Structure 1
Amino acid sequence: MTSVREKVARWIERRLPQPRLRQGASGGPRGPVKRIIVFGRIPNPTFDYYLAARLEAPDMPPYEVADIRGRETPALEADGAFVILCRYASPSVLRWIERNAERLSGVGLFLDDDIPAVVTGKDADFFYRLFLWYRALWPLRRLNQHLDIVWASTPHLASRLADSNAMVLPPAPPRALWQAEGHDGDQLGQSNRDVWIAYHATGVHLQEHRFLRPIIEEVLRERPQARFEVFADRRAKAIWQGLERVQIREPMPWTEYLADANGRRIHIMLVPLAPSHVNDSRAPTKRIDVARYRAAGVFSDGQAYGAPTETNELRMPYAIDAWRRAIEQLVDDVGLQEKVAVATRQAVLQMTSAADTGLEVFKERQA
């Protein structure tokens, strides 16, 4: 049953800015594309998971990447350029687009989150909501006058962006992004037969932290060889206090997180997704992180990772007992760990293969 808070949140959400294509937009470039310019808070996982490999595909136009975190936009050649905004825009980028509008071959926006739902949801903290408003929602008032294409990471998210006729662009990571270096090392202690379980969460997953807490407490009590690692922000840390054999880590910048997998292994990685408005639109990108650590993943069944199937991946209903049993089974059975880990690496390899076709809309309109 929908609560009063949820009804109010949905009412507000419907009134937040949404991306819309400019009048006369055709869902493709306006003219020949000489180059692509990607604006974003780069480096970041969104660019790496969705755009980097596609832009390197054969027959794609040359591209360059510009970080929007500076006060001024770097000197860029606008003539014949197609601009892709990766989630966010800054005032300086909006000014640059407006100043060069007649010279551009088009403007596109890529989104991999239901941002209005995050802003009105209950897990994100106040400052992150404010940031999303300022960098992702408020700019749409000006950006919509220039948009030619909107891409969304999942079909469900595309359906939520109905006014923009969003095209679905699923994850397609470069192979180097998930085949970590240093595979011979194992700094998490395989030699003493410790089994490391991890939950690497962002700051918008408080419900999932609370869901996992009793599960991990029971697993650690019943399996003395188990160790647990969790990424937790200021609010989530309190959930994990009082447990032995738990390492609480601070969330880290993207480049550091990529390097973290070099030379060590996590044996079991947990990817729970609470049933929620926000999670309905999520893409299966955590599968890539699981592959990078060569871990056996336990995923929530649902729109992001699919229902339980005949594959060897573990997709579980969002129920405490089911997750506890699955984790304990993986702790006890090294062979099962490897079988499940291989299944996820195969799934990620299929994602990577999808990048070979690049971004089709640009191949037709190259200068």
Structure 2
Amino acid sequence: MLDLIYALLPKPVARNRATDNARQATRLLVLTDGHNPTFTYYLEERLARSPFDVHVRGLTERLGDVDPDGLHVIVCRYIRPRQLLWLYRNRRRLAGASLFIDDDLAATVTAPRGSRLYKAYLMAMGIAPLPVLNRVLTDIWVSTPALSAALAGGGVNTNIVLPPFPPEEAFTPLASSRKDDGRLVMAFHATGSHDAEHAFLIPIVREILQRCREVHFEVVAEGTAARLWVSSGLPPERFTLCPKQEWVTYLAETARRHVDILLVPLLQSRMNDVRSSTKRFDSARMGAAAVFSLCAAYDRAADADEILIDNDAQSWIKTICRLAEDGDLRRRSREATMNAVRSHLANTSVLFPAMLVNPETRP
């Protein structure tokens, strides 16, 4: 049944490709639900380096004062009805319209687990607008080749892959303000659609805290996942449940606070199989030694000294215990992740796709 619902849900498709207006673009307008991880990891730095006049507007802002001529619009994941209506009315005057998407929203909505509230939000903001939005779009930008293939659904794949390229503050730790009190901070930060990963980690973390008395565990969780952790029986003096924060606050806080070991599990699912490796930036920003699931998202362009393991509980327990006991291993792992980040950035273009040519050099 879930497979049938997935197949029936609308997917992003650029149906306005016939226009050649994209070469006339002289300005950029980005529609985004505030500052969020997608905007930071994929768009913010590219916009900062763009030769175009750039305007960024939240999803509740009106567009009546915007001149559509020569304008290329980038929709970051979501759009609200009033802005969608403006785009549709002006679709023939726009230079182009691109949707950037970094998740298979239909897969997330039809996943057997996950927050109902989050799924409802995805439906309202990301999926329900597509029948109209698709008639406006000239391009679909996606985060990974796997997501591109999934959204194409076996048809002609014309999606454009735009890998992450965040600003330096998104992967650079600040000088740690944490006192050296002998504790090792182990963390797992995940909200939204990671209930399966939370359930996977609970018995692992319970075992780690029994074996490694110096480890203190913190988790960012909400909803069902938070309730699972509260009832997990972890020692309260060595366990902290952190609420979800606004993205800008979380970004600054995780750069300031040091984490020794970051857990980054990713279980196999249609939703997870198309994800990118943005958690690497989180790990680097926290100055953490990361334990990643061995999967396509993290295996791609991994540094030789990074730790990637199968999703087997005993393998995770053994690996985390080694990290807790060996400071040199944590250092090598931490440095390896930063090397992987810098290698990725060195081999990734900061430019937007080719249809957004430099207005000074276009014919």
Q: TM-score, normalised by structure 2?
A: 0.92
Cα separation, partners in 2 of 1:339 and 1:25, compared to 1, 3 Å: farther
Out of 150, 154, 158, the position equivalent to 2:140 is 150
State the 1:271 CA deviation. Answer: 0.5
Q: What is the 5 A alignment of 1:196-235? A: 196-235=185-224
Corresponding residue for residue 52 of structure 1: 44
- What is the CA–CA distance in structure 1 between the aligned matches of 2:309 and 2:355, rounded to whole Å? 39
Tell me the equivalent position of 2:15.
22
Matched residues in 2 for 1:310 and 1:52: separation?
A: 26
Cα distance, 1:134 vs. partner? 1.0
C-alpha separation in 2, matches of 1:50 and 1:308:
18
Where does residue 4 of structure 1 map in the other structure? none
Give the distance between the partners of 1:118 and 1:79, measured in 2 at CA.
36
- Letter paired with 1:64: H
- The CA distance in 2 between the partners of 1:196 and 1:83, in whole Å, is 43
CA distance in 2, matches of 1:69, 1:346: 39
CA spacing shift, 1:336–1:280, aligned 2, 3 Å: same
- How far apart are the structure 2 equivalents of 1:143 and 1:111? 13
d(CA) in 1 for partners of 2:169, 2:195: 31
Q: Percent identity?
A: 34
- Compared with structure 1, are the counterparts of its residues 232 and 251 closer, same or farther at alpha carbon in structure 2 (3 Å cutoff)? same
Deviations 1:143-174 (A, max 9, x none): 11111110111111100111562111111111
1:23 Cα deviation from its structure 2 partner: 4.7
Deviation at 1:365? 6.1
Match in the other structure for 1:251: 244
Q: Say which SS state the counterpart of residue 68 (structure 2) adopts.
A: coil
Query: Is the contact made by 1:54 and 1:355 (CA closer than 8 Å) also made in structure 2?
Result: no
Residue 113 of structure 1 aligns with an amino acid whose one-letter code is D
- Structure 2 distance, partners of 1:315, 1:113, is 22
Distance 2:280 2:183 in 1: 23
* Cα distance between partner residues in 1 of 2:196 and 2:214: 27
Backbone CA RMSD of aligned residues: 2.0
Aligned to 1:298: 291
Answering whether residue 32 of structure 2 is matched by residue 40 of structure 1, we say: yes
Alignment correspondent of 1:5: none
Matched residue type, 1:41: D
Listed as ranges, the gaps of 5+ residues in structure 1 are 1-7
Residues 323 and 329 of structure 2 are in contact (CA less than 8 Å); yes or no, is this contact kept in structure 1? yes
For structure 2, the residue ranges without an aligned partner over 5 or more in a row are: none
Report SS of the residue matched to 1:192.
coil
Count of aligned pairs:
353
Indicate the residue corresponding to 2:108 in structure 1.
Answer: 118
Match of 1:192 among 181, 188, 212: 181
In 2, Cα distance between the equivalents of 1:156 and 1:336? 32
Deviation at 1:61, TM superposition (A): 1.8
Q: Is the 8 A contact 2:144 2:276 kept in 1?
A: yes
Distance in 2 (alpha carbons) for counterparts of 1:340 and 1:232: 25
